[in-house]
Amino acid sequence: MTFKTIIEPFKIHSVAPIAMTTEKERNRFIEEAGFNLFSLHSDNVLIDLLTDSGTGAMSRNQWAAIQHGDESYAGSPSWLLFKDAVQNLFPYKHVIPTHQGRAAEKILFTAIGGAGKSIPSNTHFDTTRANIEYSGAEAVDLVIPEGKDPSSLHPFKGNMDLAALEKFILSTGVENIPLVMMTITNNSGGGQPVSLENLKGVSAICKKYSLPFFLDACRFAENAWFIREREAGQSQRDVVEIVREIAGLADGMTMSAKKDPLGNIGGWLALNDDALAEICRNLLILTEGFPTYGGLAGRDLEALAVGLTEVVSHDYLKYRIQSTAYLGNALVKGGMPCVLPIGGHAVYIDAKALLPHIDPLNYPGQSLAIELYKVGGIRGCEIGTVMFGRKPDGSEVPAAMELVRLAIPRRTYTQSHIDYVIEVCLEVVKNAKNLRGYRISHEPAALRHFTSTFSPL
């Protein structure tokens, strides 16, 4: 007998309180925060879906590993446990630990970026793009057209447009492309997976032109699970086997260990190229630390080594992907338009479709995110014109999509928390036509979504 209820494959071992607030109090908190959800005190948030990064719960085995951590400056046994756990899944020759993903990106693009260079990807995550551009290079997104259509049901909307990639390589010149990247899953494109077939296609093109191929693999286990579930011939394979095959298609990777490695902090850069690894290690010593701990304490390295064994559990991944879909499908059924199919780590609400009466330059995503907080204390994140609308030349243009991301921290909330989120969202749907836009009252010079303040219209 199989039952349809997917239970959390864990029991709660330690708890953190959620402070209850009233709608009246939240109206005051959000006004005091200048209507910017990043400025809220997190104690005043009931269900925090701002990010799945570093916000997950560690297991008792991870906490036990924390106690086992060895803080030797060089050659700690915790480092060897970490390195073995990484290489068990991603057998690259060199592993370079960093304090989080963007530090790995900064080191890699300092080493290989620079003016005149171009780096294609399916879709670069913001910090990846920012680090590439900071080096003087150009970041280019070449996701398939279905990846930009919120309602397309393509099973692998994170795929690279292979024809566009080859055309790009020919027009840009191999000498100007230090490497090709793939983000798995594609966070900026709705948490959508990339197929094994597409990864093989990218790998083959890279081999044909002798270009290195790197993965931004933050959500590698979720991506591998989607491959197992959706791709022909994959359903009987162990996720570990799929992950190793993906790793073998590439020459290296950047990683935020705050996602699938189930850590609260951490990251790494891994690669095969000896000469590039030496340059990167020297940069690591300048900015992160000695190569056997990078930006991390020995105890963090141990917690990550355990997390890497837990995240590839089929029971965990089945629960993870189905519980995100449970939220997304209930919202869609209740009339909340979402990016389809539902992604791995988050549900992306299509605020443009829900609030067509709000002009993109009055920030429908921001308006919806604020309403979710006011009504139910839920904190999501606008991914739309507030985040992407200000161009380097100072002009403001609407973003391609107006989304609100509800990211699900790993192993943190129960089904009743999620049922509450569904109830709040559907209440907001009922009142959608009464929502109003916002204008920005104060805007910083860069990365305005973090610190701008807003006023309601």
What's the closest the beta carbon of residue 259 comes to ligand F0G, in angstroms?
7
Minimum CB separation from ligand F0G for residue 438, in Å? 22
Cα–Cα distances in angstroms (integers) from residue 113 to residues 89, 177, 272, 273, 275, in the given order:
27, 9, 18, 16, 15
Q: How far is the CB of 113 from ligand F0G (least distance, A)?
A: 16
- Please tell me the distance from the alpha carbon of residue 395 to that of residue 159, in angstroms, as a whole number: 31
Q: What minimum distance in Å lies between the beta carbon of 193 and ligand F0G?
A: 12
Type of residue at 119 = I
Q: Which is nearer to ligand F0G, 261 or 437 (CB)?
A: 261
Q: Which residues bind ligand F0G (CB under 6 A)?
A: 51, 53, 100-102, 125, 127-128, 183, 187, 216, 218, 256, 258, 267
CB-based closest residue to ligand F0G: 101
Cβ of residue 379: shortest distance to ligand F0G, in angstroms?
Answer: 12
Q: Between residues 50 and 85, which has the closer beta carbon with respect to ligand F0G?
A: 50
Q: Closest CB to ligand F0G among 7 and 446?
A: 446
Q: How far is the CB of 131 from ligand F0G (least distance, A)?
A: 9
Question: Cβ of residue 413: shortest distance to ligand F0G, in angstroms?
Answer: 16
* Residue with Cβ nearer ligand F0G (258 or 320): 258
